Structure 1
Amino acid sequence: MAIDAEVTLRRKSSHSLDDPEKVQEKIDVESVDVSFADEALRLVGTERTQRFSDEYNRKLRRKLDLCIPPLCAAVYFTQFLDKTSLNYASIMGLPITGQNYNLVSMAFYLGFLFFEFPTVYISQKLRVAKYLGANIIIWGAVLMLHAVGTSFGAFFALRFLLGMCESCVAPILILIISMFYKKNEQGTRIAWFYIMNGLTQIFGGFVAYGISFYDGHLLAPYKIIYILLGGLAIIVGICVLIWLPDSPVHAKMLTPEEKIAALERVRDDQGGTENKKLKRDQVFEALLDVRTWLVILTTLLTSIPNGGISNFSNLIIKSFGYTSKQALILSTPGGAVHTMMTLFCGYYSDRKNERMIPIVFAVVPTILGLLIGFNGTGQKGVLLFGIYLCSSFGSALSTVYAYNASNTSGHTKKSTINALTLTAFSLGNIIGTEIFQPKDAPDYIPGKIAIMTLLGAQLVISFLLRWINLRLNKRKQARIAELKARNGWSDADVQRERERHAFLDMTDRQNPYFVYTA
């Protein structure tokens, strides 16, 4: 089953950036250095020697579904709740107000931005799930320390540290999903954990609403929020350390046979699983890929509105004439809108093999909601409806995550693009914290115009990315047809070569058999 790890990889062209697509299309099994290729190669080799029935694979997928998505969801639930705790604290006696509140909101994303690249590359060298669990425990402790701080400096520093610890979450969760699930399963599984953004809005709103009735004679209500949420994060971190698998190769929950089956399930997707070597040529390829920068741009265009709406939605609702308690409870339906849109986009994404069209579905309702919000003197119910519609755009980032998982191969390239994506996320949210200025209250018209403009541009970028991927697929199909004609290959020969390429840790450009998802 395994192959000799002492032989060397004589495929210099596959690691050259002169023309990453000019690679040796036929792999010599005896010339593969396992230490340079994917870790899965040690277990299953370049040849598919075992086949598993559809029923066996369905049972295996159910087993994975009972462990991986729930733990990923718990992590994302905790992360988003902890990140937006400031939003609840803002109307529960938080001693930070005005422009200082904007700066403290920004501090989280500054820490996120500062540590994004280091944390992604550190995680590549370590067991990713164990690294994630340790970060969760640390940020839980940091969050609880928010209950001690009272000054602007203390809150700024703690939010900065919180951002550093949470910067590893999305890249690691995307990587884990891409290791264990096929392309036509990834969008749904990512949606399953990303809906936590909406559910935390519901959960957090009700919890904060309940705590707001406390008179604060022992602890200020906002301090109770931080202590409770920090404790919850520590519990989740411990669960991740114990149960979340690092990769199919190291999954203790799987039998030896199930590990092989898990790898064979994803072989044809050509995405690979894991490699501990940091490869500079893959970093450069990621930087030279025009799609990388379009993904960065689309993430930025989504994250700027997120930075504004996620931190100021309660204040906007309160500006409609509601009390602080009413604003907390009235913010929860927005979480339901976010949840339903995320589930729909994840389902559609996998069912139709699309990634960009679901982003369009997510963005359009938000634009309509903002148009409703321009009527600042309108009925409260109408204004609330507009705010709830604005919650739909958040699911676009879930689809971006699924896009990265399905359209990138090569472990270092994956890590680089995920890091760049989350860097754009943090930059966008930093900008977003300044999009609603106190002087523009209560209607915040300039901020609403800015968000509508950004989301309009997002629609254009989405269609452009889709067109590029479809065009690249046509070029791949033409190359495979040329190979078949030149070598006299049958379809079975092509399939055999496709299987041999699966775990060589080649990038999507280097691998002629990699297929992009639109």
Structure 2
Amino acid sequence: MSEKASSSVEQVIVTPDLEKRRSKAGSEELDDKADVLTDVSVYDEGQGDEALKLVGKERTAEFSEEYNQQLRRKLDLWIPPLCAAVYFTQFLDKTSLNYASIMGFPISGQQYNLVSMAFYLGFLSWEFPTVYISQKLRLGKYLGANIVLWGIMLMLHSTAPSFGAFFALRFLLGVFESCVAPLLILIISMFYKKDEQASRISWFYVMNGLTQIFGGFVAYGISFYDGHLLAPWKIIYILLGGLAIVVGVCVLIWMPDSPVHAQLLSPEERIAALERVRDDQGGTENKKLKWHQIKETLLDVRTWLIVITTLLTSIPNGGLSNFSNQIVKSFGYTSKQALILSSPGGAIAAFTTLYCGWYADKKGERMLPIVFALIPTIVGAAMLIGLNGSGQKGALLFVRYLAATYLIGTFGSALSTVYAYNASNTGGHTKKVTINAMTMFTFSVGNIVGTEIFLPKDAPDYIPGKTAIMVLLTIQLFICFLLRFINRRMNVKKVEALEAEKARRGWSDADVQKERERHAFLDLTDKENMFFMYTA
């Protein structure tokens, strides 16, 4: 095993998408016009995945289905719960301002909008640096350190004396939280097969809905305190900041960096974990930044469709995550009632996320679950607009409340499925971190715009904001179907190319499988690797 792991990978299928480049040793150049199987020694340990250190270029160990199921159960009891704890903490901390806003928070009006925006300014300013820094470091340790730091920033909110201090702290909070989603997606994609990824991502993304329930009840309870020693909004920041620090320490201790460095797995289990994902061609981890993979990401039309999809989802998120309680309060409820009445929406969001994740893996789909998540929100926004001014009593008030809490919150699970789309449809480690960074950068831009669609001058009805939500998500429906069509068409071309190569080379099915296994951990992009298949 060790001899295989240390040897160069000697064969690679060169496709029209493969960039011209040389190995460090000065091997012969790859012809990017070629479509032949060429013997070249360009993929040494530095070029291929770190997985090669354990399993080498060819499958050398077979594990029974029972063994793999036991290993998956072990992973399920370890990795998704840690990811969920991280996401639970992040969403609570990110939306702490929403709770504080109706608990005596000293910032209001346009300054409140700017403080809301500050988080996303920090988020987007550090998104690309943080993912490329993380590529050089141990993922779990880097993630844990960031969580501890943002917990400290959150607790410091309780000491902020002015608008400027709140703005700076929210900015730094965004900086430290910007690494979360990209790193969690990478970790899930390294340990789980394609038909397992969407559901596992939904297991941590569901925390967005559950925190809405938890945070609402906690804030509701604290709101009864008269604040004679400490203002209620300060208590919120101290509690949530302390929780983040505890979670950060747990991540530092237990979160695995990759299957190669999974401290809770035996050497045999680490090999089995890698062999489980070999045929998916997604690879694991590579510490080398590859500029040709960044270029391919930027030239891939699907990248920009994902960017548009993320933007169209994030603008509503930026508005609702900071103004949902105020929308419910505008129906005539008190602050305490608004806190408790917003909680059921979290249950609906949680159910939608889990269902879409399950459906995405069960049916091998990514775009259709997004459509399922968008339609109720579009209907809910339309109801809030149509019923505006219809009165605030009885049945109509109840219907508006249902639209605001039960329907309009389902769209949040769309971003979870976008995460799963990136994990399942991207090959090459640098390309993965790049598209994840672009996704989260766009998420930040969308949320910044979203904080400005619910303007103080439009209160309490916020008709322009509700209209924007309905229009943007309707447009996104068409983007989803376009992405689905493109991926399905690319799969057809992949099959045709592989069949042509199979006939030209005289390969048997066993030969094809052998070549597929050899390509799994070469750190090829999805376009370079003819064995990579897309999930629509």
Q: Please say whether Structure 1 and Structure 2 have the same fold, judged by a TM-score greater than 0.5.
A: yes
Matched, 1:202 2:213: yes
1:412 maps onto 2:430 in alignment:
yes
Give the conservation status (yes or no) of the 8 Å contact 1:27–1:501: no
Deviation of 1:362 (Å) = 0.3
Aligned to 1:450: 468
Residue in 2 aligned with 1:474?
492
Amino acid at match of 2:485: W
Counterparts of 1:27 and 1:303, CA distance in 2? 45
More displaced 10-residue stretch of structure 1: 38-47 or 177-186: 38-47
Q: Residue 56 of structure 1: which of 64, 67, 71 is its match?
A: 67
- For 1:224 and 1:98, locate their aligned partners in 2 and report how far apart those are by CA, in whole Å: 22
Where 2:159 maps in the other structure, the secondary structure is coil
Distance 1:47 1:10 in 2: 11
Distance (whole Å) between structure 2 residues aligned to residue 129 and residue 335 of structure 1: 28
Q: Does 1:68 align with 2:85?
A: no
Match of 1:156 among 155, 167, 185: 167
CA–CA separation in structure 1 for the residues paired with 2:517 and 2:35: 15
Residue equivalent to 2:402? 385
Quote the Cα distance in structure 2 between the aligned partners of 1:23 and 1:439.
61
Aligned to 1:308, the other structure's residue is in SS state helix
Q: Which ranges of structure 1 fall in alignment gaps of 5 or more residues?
A: none
Pairs aligned (count): 518
The aligned counterpart of 2:324 is: 313
Match in the other structure for 1:426? 444
- Equivalent residue for 1:35, pick from 46, 60, 68: 46
Are residues 1:177 and 2:188 paired? yes
Q: Distance in 1 between matches of 2:447 and 2:114?
A: 12
> Which residue of structure 1 aligns with residue 378 of structure 2?
367
User: Residues 66 and 452 of structure 1: is their aligned pair in 2 closer, same or farther, counting only changes over 3 Å?
Assistant: same
- Partners of 2:161 and 2:81 lie apart in 1 by 36
Measured against aligned partners, the alpha-carbon deviations of 1:297-355 in whole angstroms (never above 9, x if no partner) come to 00000000000011000001000000000000000001001000000000000000000
Q: Specify the code of the residue in structure 1 equivalent to 2:52.
A: L
Deviations 1:15-35 (A, max 9, x none): 339999856664759664122
Greater mean deviation of Cα atoms: 17-26 or 245-254: 17-26
Cα distance, 1:50 vs structure 2: 0.7
| Contact kept in structure 2, 1:77 and 1:200, CA below 8 Å | yes
Cα deviation digits, residues 144-182 of structure 1 (max 9, x gap): 000001311010000000000000000000000000000
8 Å Cα contact 1:40-1:274 kept in structure 2: yes
Task: Work out the CA distance in 1 between the residues paired with 2:268 and 2:135.
Answer: 26
In the TM superposition, residue 130 of structure 1 has moved relative to its aligned partner by 0.4
Q: Distance in 2 between matches of 1:152 and 1:462?
A: 40
Partner of 2:130: 119
Alpha-carbon offset, residue 447 of structure 1: 1.1
Give 1:206-225 correspondences, 5 Å limit.
Answer: 206-225=217-236
CA contact (8 A) 1:345 1:395 kept: yes
Q: Residues 473 and 19 of structure 1: is their aligned pair in 2 closer, same or farther, counting only changes over 3 Å?
A: farther
Q: Does the aligned pair in 2 maintain the 1:141–1:230 contact within 8 Å?
A: yes
Q: SS where residue 261 of structure 2 aligns? A: coil
Q: 1:292 aligns with which of 303, 314, 320?
A: 303
Matched, 1:141 2:152: yes
CA contact (8 A) 2:98 2:321 kept: yes
SS at match of 1:147: helix
Are residues 384 and 205 of structure 1, via their aligned partners in 2, closer, same or farther at CA, if it must alter by over 3 Å?
same
> Which residue, out of 467, 477, 494, partners 2:512?
494
Distance 2:109 2:32 in 1: 54
Are the equivalent residues in 1 in contact too, given 2:313–2:446 (CA < 8 A)?
Answer: yes
Aligned to 1:280: 291
User: What is the CA–CA distance in structure 1 between the aligned matches of 2:521 and 2:120, rounded to whole Å?
Assistant: 35
On the 8 A contact 2:312/2:476 being kept in 1, the answer is yes
2:343 alignment counterpart:
332
Residue equivalent to 2:20: 16
CA distance 1:508–1:23, shift in 2 (3 Å):
farther
Structure-1 separation of matches of 2:455 and 2:149: 32
Q: Could you tell me how far apart the structure 2 residues matched to 1:272 and 1:117 are?
A: 21
Tell me by how many angstroms 1:441 deviates. Answer: 1.2
Identity of paired residues, percent?
Answer: 71
Within the alignment, does 1:399 sit opposite 2:417 as a pair?
A: yes
Between the aligned partners of 1:373 and 1:353, the Cα distance in structure 2 is: 34
Q: CA deviation at 1:372?
A: 1.2
Q: Is the CA contact 2:205–2:353 (under 8 Å) kept in the aligned structure 1?
A: yes
8 Å contact from structure 1 (residues 27, 497) kept in 2? no
Contact preservation (8 Å) 1:27, 1:500: no
1:443 maps to amino acid: D
| In 2: Cα distance, 1:510 partner to 1:195 partner | 34
CA contact (8 A) 2:5 2:57 kept: no
Q: Which amino acid aligns with 2:415?
A: L
Decide whether aligned partners of structure 1 residues 512 and 470 sit closer, same or farther in structure 2, where only a CA change above 3 A counts.
same
Letter in 1 for 2:227: G
Paired AA for residue 470 in structure 2: M
Q: CA–CA distance in 1 between the matches of 2:477 and 2:238?
A: 41
CA distance in 1, matches of 2:434, 2:491: 22
Query: Which 5+ residue runs of structure 2 have no aligned equivalent?
Result: 22-28
Distance 1:95 1:451, change over 3 A: same
Tell me the equivalent position of 1:187. Answer: 198
Specify which of 83, 98, 101 is matched with residue 87 of structure 1. 98
Task: Provide the rounded CA distance (Å) in 1 between the counterparts of 2:269 and 2:32.
Answer: 34
SS at 2:409's partner residue? helix
Q: Give the TM-score of the pair, scaled to structure 2.
A: 0.94
How far apart, CA to CA, are the structure 2 residues paired with 1:21 and 1:463?
32
